[in-house]
Chain A
Amino acid sequence: MELFTHISNAVSLLWSWGSILWTILGLLIGIVLGALPGVSGVLAITLLLGPSYYMPPLQAIIFFTAIYTGSIYGGGITAILLNIPGTPAAIATGFDGYEMTKLGRHNQALGLGIISSVIGVFFSYLIILFFFFPLGRIVLKFGPAEMVMVVIFAMTSIGAVRGEVGATLLFGMLGVMVGTMGSSAYGSARGNFGVDALYEGIPVIPALLGMLAVSELLIMIERQYVLDHGFRPQQKLKEIIRGMASVIHHKGTILRGVLVGTIIGLMPAAGSTIASMVSYGMAKRASAKPETFGKGNPEGVIAAETANNASEGGAVATMMLLGIPGSVTTALLIAAFMIHGMSPGPYLIREHLDFAYAVILIQFFQAICLLFLAALFVNYFARIVYLPTATLVPGILILAVVGALAPRGLLVDVVVMLLFAAFGYFMKKLEYPLMGFILGFILGGMFDRELIKAILLFEEDWGALGNRPAFLILVIITALSVIWPKISAKVKSLRQ
């Protein structure tokens, strides 16, 4: 009964033209930028974090989740048409999507991509809608010790997924240090190196803009066009719709994709790329004709697109429940919540549960909008990749400066952005895990506060931590995430 009260409150929060407009605008921006290899929704969200400061909180979050949804779908367009995924999450889509294009079935592949994405988003959030309340009750029992362990677990699990726990933890700790710069809980200046403007800490928006947007531009300018490709297939709406309808013959693949995507999305660090790869692999194993995968089998597109979009529901749920990001995009969503004075995790569940439900409910509307927008404009979205970088890069650079100036209007924030751009560029060029740093940086302040609270609570009796089951479970899974890559490598070598 309590669940329905929250849902009805959430509906009343959403009841405005703003929700509709920001959803449509966010989806359009997300699809366009998601289709651009190397740009993606991350850049869009980063650029718009600053200006979102002036938007009402719910509409800002709606806008960003719409960009998120649009960008995951958008990444699949170029994967299908040009075999160049706009985002890593669309790599598996290209396995069969591009083969279908080569066989002249690109309209069917695009149709399947659209409907699979819509189904993935819709049903993953439906699952989350019913499990959010009971999961939220568990999270409310988390105290400072558990929150400290949650941050450590997030770092080690990201490292485990990438196969480099040490480097992720190293940069995670650097992130924690940078995230605590400014002033301490007692008001003393801490790590601001004499710069008064940094007393409130390193500004999150300029730092993220530098690391994610500007550094990416420096990599992008190595190319003359975002994509230089001679082949330009024509899209036909009728055939795309026929392709969408053909999904009815693949119910099992759809169901598997939704479940795999949602469950993997719930795990910190796993994310949409892994979800689509696992779902693709499972669809191939379950198929009566596994040899047709990679040669233009529509089930390959359905499996990949359903799962990568379904992972969004899981990732957003973990982000709102625990306050830990599963990907760069959800890290940016946490930053968006923080800008509007809300801290995802137990605090959000306790103080703003209706708000959290509103974020979940709007996703159903977003899924329906995505269906129409994608079908109508897919032809135009695919053309974005032919933009010259000499026009695109300067435009984005100036937008990044606007984004850095937006929250405070201080030029020092632009300098911070440039310093973090250099840092992000070297991190990417040297192939170090930027995500580890971002996680530590965003959660550094919270980690510091919760660690102090945990010490004050348990310094008299550390043994009391043993009576906290959630803490013990988190310690065990953190230890497992550290040793798991070593165990699995050992098992693999023994098998060989």
Chain B
Amino acid sequence: MSPKLWGRIIFILFIWFFALRYYGECLNLRQPSEKLTIIAAFWVLTILAAWEVGHLIKKILKEKNFSTLTSTKFLSKILKDKRTWLVGAVILYVIFIPIAGFYLTSFIAFCIFSFILGSRNPVKIIVSGAVVIAIIYGIFSSLLQLSLP
């Protein structure tokens, strides 16, 4: 089976459930005009999503190419992907900003991101990190008077 086609179906269903949730919440609004746009957009979206999913299922059935990808293989593929590690590091970075402050966290995050992306020269990583943070400080804090956490 084509993972892309299945990916599209899952994605469409995901956004439809989100739209349904929003639509359900809007039904409680008092004024009819407050919910009009949402109702109209939701129903157009529902019709088009049903059409798209139907179209994708038709394509999958036509392909008749049913290969299998076990959950273990899928998991090991995900864990080996540097994007997974980068996303994890970004989430940790965001968590630590209010704790350690923007500049220190950003400097450490820069070094970790560089390492994840394949840079192995510690001097190069530290110097580039320091330069980037200095530029951000110079432009945003000193010049534009932007207050960062």
Interface set of A (CB-CB < 8 Å, partner B): 51, 54-55, 166-167, 169-170, 173-174, 176-177, 180-181, 184-186, 188, 190-191, 193, 218, 221, 224, 388-391, 393-395, 397-399, 401-402, 405-406, 409, 411, 414-415, 418, 426, 429-430, 432, 444, 447-448, 451-452, 455-456
Q: From residue B40, how far is it (CB to closest CB) to chain A in Å?
A: 8
Contact assessment for B90 and A188 in the assembled complex, using a CB-CB cutoff below 8 Å: no
Contact assessment for A393 and B22 in the assembled complex, using a CB-CB cutoff below 8 Å: no
Q: From residue A418, how far is it (CB to closest CB) to chain B in Å?
A: 7
The distance in angstroms between the C-alpha atoms of A166 and B54, with both chains bound, is 13
**What count of chain B residues pass the 8 Å CB interface test?**
62
Contact assessment for A402 and B140 in the assembled complex, using a CB-CB cutoff below 8 Å: yes
**A418 with B44, Cβ < 8 A, contacts A51-B140, A221-B82 known:** no
**A390 with B19, Cβ < 8 A, contacts A395-B132, A398-B132, A406-B146 known:** no
Interface set of B (CB-CB < 8 Å, partner A): 4, 7-8, 11-12, 15, 19, 21-22, 25-26, 29-31, 33-38, 40-42, 44-45, 48-49, 51-52, 82-83, 86-87, 90-91, 93-94, 97-98, 102, 106, 109-110, 113-114, 117-119, 124, 128-129, 132-133, 136, 139-140, 144-149
Q: Which residues of B contact A184 (CB under 8 A)?
A: 29, 31, 34-35
Q: Residue of A at shortest CB range from B144?
A: A54
The distance in angstroms between the C-alpha atoms of A167 and B149, with both chains bound, is 40
What are 8 sample pairs from A and B whose C-beta atoms fall under 8 A apart? A170-B44, A170-B49, A191-B25, A221-B82, A394-B114, A411-B98, A430-B4, A452-B37
Q: Residue of B at shortest CB range from A166?
A: B48
**A51 with B146, Cβ < 8 A, contacts A174-B15, A176-B41, A184-B31 known:** yes
The distance in angstroms between the C-alpha atoms of A397 and B139, with both chains bound, is 16
Contact assessment for A409 and B149 in the assembled complex, using a CB-CB cutoff below 8 Å: yes
The distance in angstroms between the C-alpha atoms of A224 and B87, with both chains bound, is 18
**A398 with B136, Cβ < 8 A, contacts A177-B42, A186-B34, A418-B90 known:** yes
Q: Residue of A at shortest CB range from B131?
A: A395
**A394 with B109, Cβ < 8 A, contacts A388-B119, A411-B97, A455-B33 known:** yes
Contact assessment for A455 and B148 in the assembled complex, using a CB-CB cutoff below 8 Å: no
Q: Which residues of A contact B110 (CB under 8 A)?
A: 394-395, 398
User: Which of A188, A224, A411 makes the CB contact (< 8 A) with B34?
Assistant: A188
Q: A177-B41, A190-B34, A391-B114 are in contact. List 19 more A-B contacts (CB 8 A).
A: A170-B44, A170-B45, A173-B41, A174-B41, A177-B19, A185-B33, A191-B38, A218-B87, A221-B82, A221-B86, A389-B117, A394-B110, A395-B128, A398-B109, A401-B106, A418-B91, A430-B4, A430-B7, A447-B37
